[in-house]
A and B are shown apart, each in its own frame.
Chain A
Amino acid sequence: MRSYIIKRLFYSVIIAWGILTITFVLLRVGPTSPVDRYILNIAARGQDVDSVRQAIEARYGLDKPIIEQYLLYMGNLLQGKWGWSFSASQPVMDLIGSHWIYSFQLVLLSSIFAIIVGVGLGMLSAVKQNTKIDYAASIFSFIGISIPGFWLGLMLILVFAVYLGVFRTYYDTNYPIWSLENLRQLILPVLTLGIGSLAGYVRYTRSAMLDNLRKEFVTTARAKGLSERTVIGKHVLRNAVLPLVTIIMFDLGSIVFGGAYLTEIVFGIPGLGQVSFNAIFANDYAVVVAVTLIGTFLVLFINLVTDLIYTYLDPRIRYD
């Protein structure tokens, strides 16, 4: 087991390094340059730009050859120096440190929401297969999967904030994370982000349950004289959970910089998504690489955890 984990970690490092390099090269070799932004600003204020271009490049060490920049960056990284974000003018880690919580709470809450409701609904429609409830649930899940999150977000704002005025139109960071007000203002974002995953979970849960509902051990369980609740909730679910874990975990990894970002934009939540994308538009490679790395490690970590959960959930699986 341990050796397996070690091997996995080793792989992770390799993968992370690969991704780091790809990102760095993309950013620094591409046609755009961090300086462009300065140039534009300076030009807009009616100032001669050509005289300062090299100056700025020099200021941020962009005039050095790309290889040298890469090695420099790697060197710092290995010393745990994540570098300086010149678009946010603060250390990259401070930037991330002050924003991650907003993405985290969003993703966490929406996942919890999606899992509870999704799995619950999925079980329900599986048990009530081919009933009205089942059809309703599956239609709902289709809709949930197909509705573009960012658009849904806009519509929710339009209806609930602009017209009905039930919610604020934007996210207010003045409320402490643990305050009720904060939870309240997260309702729409969580709904927006959660609905897609939720819909997916409904379908996966349903099919996973159905796969197992017809299994012989279910009849055995019934023959034991167990209550239907125990039969479904214990014997069936426990087996159905296995495929679900993979899907949920994978989903978790993928929404952080996908749906979460769009949701953050729509609702003005200053999360990591916002940070990373602004960094991209500012060509701020230190931030972009850092965020990408974090995202990568997140995914890798999730994969590892998934496998470990698996060994726990399914005694038939052993890694070595």
Chain B
Amino acid sequence: MTVNTILEVSNLKTWFYTRRGIVKAVNGVDFDLWQGECLCLVGESGCGKSVTALSLLRLFDSPPGKIVSGKVIYDGIDLTSCPVKRIRQVRGKEIAMVFQNAQSALNPVFTIGDQIMEQINAHGHYGRAETRKKALMLLEEMNIPQAENALTMYPHQMSGGMKQRAMIAMSLSCDPAILIADEPTTAVDVTIRAQIMFILQELMSRRNMSIIFITHDLSLVREIGDRAAVIYGGKVVEIAPVDTILTAPAHPYTRGLIACLPDISADLKRLPSIPGNTPNPIDLPQGCTFHPRCKDVMDICRSTEPELVNIAGVHKVACHLYDNAGVDRA
């Protein structure tokens, strides 16, 4: 199969230098994003997936945050090191973001219209009327009722769903090549979630753009994702097509996650869960960050960090269990 990678993230490390110590929120993330796919970043809260997303566009607070190593290659340039001017042209235009909580992500004192039009004018110049028309179209595309007066509404006058959709509309206004959706549905209720998921899927088909979909909810992954990257302790521990992840997870952690998925067919006394809890990003465990919770832990796991290696086709895993897998194939 031939894919063309439009975003390549390699060994990305974003650390936060706080009074309490260095928070290694992102600690060597590797993945690549393909044209037109939806890549899901999956992981428990605090595993660093959101920071990863922010790091792509260098949107985290700095100081204290700092990208200590790694590359984010987009369109031939490295977003981690390129001048601010350059990345600003990427932000919103090439790579747009949709945030978790539209309520707080939208500026309360400007109308939706203003905020969308601002985005439109941020890259490229249109006349007042044209800008407005564009904004209107976007809102309609997000099938927001009476888009006309939605333009003049303030965020607090809108329902959660409308806000979220308005937000997406805003992010699309410069039709970017990549859309990063950071848990866009956690803050909204089920029906709205459905709408939003629908919209996103539609988008992918209509404009052939790539989406990085960040979530902790595997059911959503199943719904929308083409591939999924499982993140643990600030690293990608496994990355593979979604059904591979769901049906044949390789990494013990992924297995754990899948096991936790409530399965309607089987009736269980109690929901299984992974023993122990997510590692503290200030002092990550030696070696494999998962080893304290790992059932199949080996000595080597305690000492050396596993590499992310190909085990089958596009299925990559970072785990010592598969150390020699690659060798077999060869």
Taking beta carbons and an 8 Å cutoff, which residues of A are in contact with B? 214-217, 219-228, 235, 238-239, 313-316
Report Cα–Cα, A314/B110, bound state, in Å. 9
Least distance between A231 CB and chain B CB atoms (Å): 10
Chain B residue nearest to A226 in the complex (CB): B122
* Stretch touching chain A among B91-99, B188-196, B229-237, B238-246: B91-99
Whether the pair B59, A224 counts as a contact (CB closer than 8 A) is no
Report Cα–Cα, A226/B105, bound state, in Å. 15
Chain A residue nearest to B57 in the complex (CB): A223
Least distance between A44 CB and chain B CB atoms (Å): 65
12 extra interface residue pairs, beta carbon distance < 8 Å, beyond A222-B57, A225-B90? A216-B99, A217-B105, A217-B106, A220-B106, A224-B118, A224-B119, A224-B170, A225-B88, A225-B89, A225-B91, A238-B110, A315-B109
Whether the pair B61, A221 counts as a contact (CB closer than 8 A) is no
Residues 54 to 112 of chain B near chain A (Cβ within 8 Å): 54, 57, 59, 61, 84, 88-93, 96-97, 99, 101, 104-111
Least distance between B38 CB and chain A CB atoms (Å): 19
Least distance between B14 CB and chain A CB atoms (Å): 14
Can you report 11 A-B residue pairs in the complex whose CB atoms are below 8 A from each other? A217-B105, A217-B108, A219-B59, A219-B99, A220-B167, A223-B57, A225-B90, A225-B123, A226-B92, A226-B118, A315-B154
Whether the pair B91, A223 counts as a contact (CB closer than 8 A) is yes
The 10 A-B residue pairs with the shortest CB-CB distance, nearest first, are A225-B91, A225-B92, A315-B154, A217-B107, A224-B92, A216-B104, A223-B97, A216-B105, A220-B105, A224-B119
Q: Please tell me which one of the listed residues A225, A227, A316 contacts residue B108 in the complex, with CB atoms under 8 A apart.
A: A316
What is the count of residue pairs linking A and B with beta-carbon distances less than 8 angstroms?
Answer: 73
Chain A residue nearest to B93 in the complex (CB): A225
The yes or no answer to B156 lying at the interface (CB within 8 A) is: yes
**Contacts of A222 on B, CB cut-off 8 Å?**
57, 59, 91
Q: Helix, strand, loop or mixed for chain A's interface?
A: helix
**Contacts of B88 on A, CB cut-off 8 Å?**
225-227
Whether the pair A313, B122 counts as a contact (CB closer than 8 A) is no
Given contacts A315-B154, A316-B154, whether A223 and B96 have CB atoms under 8 Å apart is yes
Report Cα–Cα, A33/B57, bound state, in Å. 76
Chain A residue nearest to B109 in the complex (CB): A238
**Contacts of B57 on A, CB cut-off 8 Å?**
222-223
**Contacts of A314 on B, CB cut-off 8 Å?**
108-109
Whether the pair A239, B156 counts as a contact (CB closer than 8 A) is no
**Contacts of B96 on A, CB cut-off 8 Å?**
223
Whether the pair A315, B156 counts as a contact (CB closer than 8 A) is yes
Whether the pair B107, A235 counts as a contact (CB closer than 8 A) is yes
Whether the pair B91, A239 counts as a contact (CB closer than 8 A) is no
Q: Please tell me which one of the listed residues A214, A225, A228 contacts residue B122 in the complex, with CB atoms under 8 A apart.
A: A225
Report Cα–Cα, A216/B54, bound state, in Å. 12
Report Cα–Cα, A316/B119, bound state, in Å. 23
**Contacts of A224 on B, CB cut-off 8 Å?**
91-92, 118-119, 122, 170
**Contacts of B156 on A, CB cut-off 8 Å?**
315-316
Report Cα–Cα, A228/B87, bound state, in Å. 12
Whether the pair A238, B92 counts as a contact (CB closer than 8 A) is no
Interface centre among A224, A239, A313 (most CB of B within 10 A): A224
**Contacts of A216 on B, CB cut-off 8 Å?**
99, 101, 104-105
Report Cα–Cα, A225/B88, bound state, in Å. 5
Report Cα–Cα, A219/B54, bound state, in Å. 9
Least distance between B52 CB and chain A CB atoms (Å): 14
Whether the pair B119, A219 counts as a contact (CB closer than 8 A) is no
**Contacts of A223 on B, CB cut-off 8 Å?**
57, 59, 91-92, 96-97, 99, 171
Least distance between A81 CB and chain B CB atoms (Å): 47
Least distance between B63 CB and chain A CB atoms (Å): 8
Residues 271 to 323 of chain B near chain A (Cβ within 8 Å): none
**Contacts of B108 on A, CB cut-off 8 Å?**
217, 239, 314-316
**Contacts of B89 on A, CB cut-off 8 Å?**
225
Chain A residue nearest to B153 in the complex (CB): A315
Least distance between B102 CB and chain A CB atoms (Å): 9
**Contacts of B106 on A, CB cut-off 8 Å?**
217, 220
Chain A residue nearest to B91 in the complex (CB): A225
Least distance between B121 CB and chain A CB atoms (Å): 10
Whether the pair A215, B104 counts as a contact (CB closer than 8 A) is yes
Given contacts A216-B101, A226-B118, A315-B156, whether A221 and B59 have CB atoms under 8 Å apart is no
Q: Please tell me which one of the listed residues A219, A225, A316 contacts residue B105 in the complex, with CB atoms under 8 A apart.
A: A219
Report Cα–Cα, A302/B110, bound state, in Å. 25
Least distance between A177 CB and chain B CB atoms (Å): 37
Residues 21 to 60 of chain B near chain A (Cβ within 8 Å): 54, 57, 59
Least distance between A234 CB and chain B CB atoms (Å): 8
Least distance between A137 CB and chain B CB atoms (Å): 18
Interface centre among A215, A226, A239 (most CB of B within 10 A): A226
Report Cα–Cα, A224/B118, bound state, in Å. 9
**Contacts of A226 on B, CB cut-off 8 Å?**
88, 92, 118, 122
Residues 116 to 144 of chain B near chain A (Cβ within 8 Å): 118-119, 122-123
**Contacts of A217 on B, CB cut-off 8 Å?**
104-108
Chain A residue nearest to B108 in the complex (CB): A316
Least distance between B209 CB and chain A CB atoms (Å): 16
Least distance between A222 CB and chain B CB atoms (Å): 5
Report Cα–Cα, A90/B92, bound state, in Å. 69
**Contacts of A220 on B, CB cut-off 8 Å?**
97, 99, 105-107, 167
Report Cα–Cα, A216/B100, bound state, in Å. 10
Least distance between B162 CB and chain A CB atoms (Å): 16
Interface centre among B93, B99, B109, B110 (most CB of A within 10 A): B109
Report Cα–Cα, A238/B154, bound state, in Å. 14
**Contacts of A221 on B, CB cut-off 8 Å?**
107
Least distance between B183 CB and chain A CB atoms (Å): 12
Given contacts A219-B105, A220-B106, A225-B92, whether A214 and B99 have CB atoms under 8 Å apart is no
Chain A residue nearest to B53 in the complex (CB): A223
Report Cα–Cα, A121/B101, bound state, in Å. 32
